[in-house]
Amino acid sequence: MTDPRAPKVSFVSLGCPKALVDSERIITRLRAEGYELTRGHQGADLAIVNTCGFLESAQAESLDAIGTALAENGKVIVTGCMGAEPEKISERFPNVLAITGPQQYETVLEAVHRAVPPQHDPFVDLVPPEGIKLTPRHYAYLKISEGCNNRCSFCIIPKLRGDLVSRQAADVLREAERLVAAGVKELLVISQDTSAYGVDIKYATSKWKDREVRAKFFDLARELGTLGVWVRLHYVYPYPHVDEVIPLMAAGLGEKSGVLPYLDIPFQHASPDVLRRMKRPAAQEKTLDRIRRWREICPDLTLRSTFIVGFPGETNTDFEMLLDWLDEAELDRVGCFRYEPVKGAPANDLAAPVPDDVKKERWNRLMARQQAISKRRLRRQVGTRQQVIIDEVGPTVAKGRSRGDAPEIDGAVYVASRRPLRVGEIATVKIERAEEYDLHGTAVGF
Ligand code: SF4
């Protein structure tokens, strides 16, 4: 039941899954204090915009969203990554009520209280114990740390979000348990650098159930894998200790739960020179050998990555090296960005910027080359049986994802079924056809 007297807040969440988690936390607190959320800005007492400040294009999108909120509502609070550089916002929009940086939940709440005081005392039982999810109920992001100890030269996230601060393992596991109890079937583990989890707290142990669990990548993955749901690992770097989770993934094959054979590793480039200038973590590791070994242990492993072309100083030879590397690595999914300078990033001062037309040409070539590889990898699944989690149901066909597809960034599996499927259900699907990014098949087991 909604209370007609309750103050109403509209919320726009831009940016990456990490920002989405911040939004969820703010919304949870607002709901706990009796605020209602509205779909549009009009009719709300206040609008909050959670911004993304990573790339110039994301900043432009954030500024547009602030402009729209001001035009449609007038009372606007801005938070998120762009809030770390408030002058960029206040110069253009002097009327915003408050600007706060990423993870400053308390400051956002204080600004909301000042603008639209809460109607009544905190009414905690308005909020279900798992919090309010912006993601569909059957999957949820699980943030294990904030900030980053790396200093990649193209990135300002450490400046915006600070050094790595890991959560205690028991704290993460309890949140995961609550999510599972509330019906979540897939946990998406995120942070800026998941493989570095716990370094800052010296892998401290904390008590969960009857045991002590270390705040360490492998230990956390193993425990999450016992919760009876899918666990997907994002933003992992190829440090040697990542090898340890591959047998965990292999052990879970054929099961309906556990750590998925999926790794999202932002490699960004393959040329050692470019990687050095990018100051990438784990850049010196022999990644091709590692990938080969991982696939020997776990042949179903899906690898997703992102790359940047046109980084300052990238020569033709560097770029050709990247294409050759992609041929050998045979990654399943690849995203590619043309390098864009981000204000405040050290890479802006590097010599030999790459002209825009060259960046574009390299981007086109990389995408074409990788598309052929991805297509080949996807086609290998035709004739196999795959576990598919259902995201949407339609009259004749449901849309889901295999263990190799993360929500929002990867492909889909379209499933025909004799009996109606439910959202969040995991079905066994015989794959019959592959398209560029998606698969089609029929449910053969439930
Ligand atoms: S790992 Fe590099 S790119 Fe990622 S957040 Fe840290 S500094 Fe930025």
Q: What is the DSSP string of 308-335?
A: EES-TT--HHHHHHHHHHHHHH--SEEE
Residue 167: closest CA among 193, 195, 198:
198
The alpha carbon of 151 and the centre of ligand 1 are apart by a number of angstroms equal to: 6
- Nearest residue (CA) to ligand 1, atom 2: 152
- The confidence score (pLDDT) of residue 250 equals 92
- Where is 212: in which H helix or E strand? strand 211-214
Q: Which two tokens stand for residue 331?
A: 């990654």
The pLDDT of residue 253 is: 62
Protein residue with least CA distance to atom 1, ligand 1: 150
d(CA 127, CA 314): 51
Determine how many CB atoms are found less than 10 A away from the CB of residue 358: 16
pLDDT tens-digit map of 186-218: 999 999 899 999 999 999 999 999 999 999 999
pLDDT beneath 50, residues of the chain: 1, 120-126
**Helix (H) or strand (E) run with residue 52 in it:** none
How far apart CA 215 and CA 354 sit, in angstroms, is 41
The one-letter amino acid at 430: K
CA atoms within 13 A on the CB side of 291: 21
- Kindly give the distance from the C-alpha atom of residue 408 to the centroid of ligand 1, in angstroms, as a whole number: 21
Report yes or no: 235 and 191 within 8 Å, Cβ to Cβ: yes
SS3 content of the chain, % helix, strand, coil (to 5): 35, 25, 40
Q: Which of 208, 224, 290, 294 is nearest to 259 (CA)?
A: 224
Cβ atoms of 120 and 85 within 8 Å: the answer is no
Pairing mode, if any, of strands 439-445 and 426-434? antiparallel
DSSP type of residue 119: S
Atom nearest to 156 CA in ligand 1 = 8
pLDDT tens per residue across span 413-446: 999 999 899 999 999 999 999 998 899 999 998 8
Q: Nearest C-alpha to atom 4 of ligand 1 is from which residue?
A: 192
Residue 273 CA to residue 282 CA, distance in Å, equals 14
Q: Return the bridge partners of 388, or none.
A: 402, 427
For 201, other C-beta atoms within 10 Å of its C-beta total 18
Q: Is 146 in the pocket of ligand 1 (CB under 6 A)?
A: no
Ligand 1 center–CA 99 separation, angstroms: 24
Pocket test for ligand 1, best of 143, 150, 236 (most atoms within 8 A of CB): 150
Ligand 1: centre distance to CA 155 (Å): 6
For ligand 1, whether the C-beta of 9 sits within 6 Å is no
Pocket test for ligand 1, best of 145, 152, 239 (most atoms within 8 A of CB): 152
What is the Cα–Cα distance from 50 to 100, expressed in whole angstroms?
A: 9
Cα distances (Å, whole numbers) of residue 84 to 51, 158, 164, 313: 10, 11, 17, 29
Asked whether 160 and 53 are in contact (CB, 8 A), the reply is yes
Ligand 1 proximity of 345 Cβ (cutoff 6 Å): no
| CA count, 13 A, side-chain hemisphere, 2 | 9
Cα–Cα dist 165/157, whole Å? 13
Instruction: Write down the pLDDT at residue 125.
Output: 44
Other beta carbons within 10 angstroms of residue 363's beta carbon come to 18
User: Ligand 1 within 6 A of 158 CB?
Assistant: yes
Residue 426 is classified by DSSP as E
Beta bridge partners of 142: 189
The predicted pLDDT at position 102 comes to: 77
- Tell me, in angstroms, the distance from the centre of ligand 1 to residue 355's CA: 24
Q: Does the beta carbon of 187 lie inside 6 Å of ligand 1?
A: no
**10 CB under 6 A from ligand 1?**
no
**Ligand 1 centroid from CA 228, angstroms:** 31
Task: Return the pLDDT at 123.
Answer: 41
Does 346 sit in the ligand 1 pocket, CB within 6 Å? no
* Distance of alpha carbon 148 from alpha carbon 366, whole angstroms: 29
What gap in Å lies between CA 242 and CA 155, rounded to an integer? 23
- Residue 422, SS3 per DSSP: coil
251: three-class secondary structure by DSSP: helix
CB atoms within 10 A of CB 5: 9
- Written as one letter, the residue type at 105 is Y
What are φ and ψ of residue 128, in 5° steps? -65, 155
* Tokens 């190799």 found at: 404
